Amino acid sequence: MSTLQCPAKVNLFLAIRGKDASGYHEIETVFARVPELFDEIEIEPASDFSFHCESLPGQSNSVVQALRLLEAHTGRTFNYKITLTKNIPPRSGLGGASSDAAAILIYLNETEKLGLTQDELQALGAQIGMDVPFFLSGHEVALGTHYGEKITPLPSLPPNVKISIELTGHEISTPEAYERWDEFLAQHPDHTAPMDTSLLYNDFELITPECGPYSKTRHLCGSGGATFHIS
């Protein structure tokens, strides 16, 4: 049996740059891994596929989605017994589901000797969620553009910089956050986000008052109900 650790992430910078013709929001964001907080996947070969997760069971779980996507892509069947322990709260903006999916894609590609390239894995991962390519990239810090799925590596944070996460108790899904954003922008059409991605900034902080207030060191993790401190 193998045990996979699936780390959380925070968005050190997140600016919504507009909406394209397809209706998707284009963003510019800086991802940073937070390995101190992680989900855990136990996986082992089995005669039939089984999946267990107390908090998020069922076929809609990103772990199952990732496995089924690989099966469809390769024409193969992957029978494993998988147990997912969730430590990263759903709808927190911490990327737990995306991290879980990336871990399964990487594991099966290596274990089953599928030979999929990084580009192929990134394309598959983006079908599950736009944060998945960041976790697939292996980078500690990276710039995400387009919908967040186009990844460019950035230097790691200095070793003396620490990120601590605070759960607010509020759950906000990414679709809900973008709906709030569209309403905000309709009322504030002149809003302009900074272009300097070295800043601590998140557009979603403007539409999540229940998770505030924010300071120079305290910021929303992503689009959901968790914040982080920089020290």
Is 196 among the catalytic positions?
A: no
Q: For residue 154, what pLDDT band results from cuts at 50, 70 and 90?
A: very high
pLDDT attached to residue 212: 79
Q: Could you write out the DSSP letters of every residue in 64-132?
A: HHHHHHHHHHHT----EEEEEE--SPTTSSS-HHHHHHHHHHHHHHHHTT----HHHHHHHHHHH-TTH
Give the chain's domains with CATH numbers.
2-153 (3.30.230.10), 163-230 (no CATH)
Q: For the segment 94-121, what is each residue's pLDDT rounded down to a tens digit?
A: 999 999 999 999 999 999 999 999 999 9
pLDDT attached to residue 131: 96
Nearest Cα to Cα of residue 25 among 184, 171, 198: 184
pLDDT attached to residue 44: 96
pLDDT attached to residue 36: 94
Catalytic residue among 9, 39, 100, 203: 9
Is 190 among the catalytic positions?
A: no
Name the token pair of 59.
């076929």
pLDDT attached to residue 211: 84
149 pLDDT above the threshold of 90:
yes
34 pLDDT above the threshold of 90:
yes
pLDDT top residue among 154 and 166: 154
In contact, 92 and 225? CB cutoff 8 Å: yes
Catalytic residue among 19, 20, 48, 131: 131
148 pLDDT above the threshold of 80:
yes
**What mean pLDDT comes out for the span 131-147?**
97
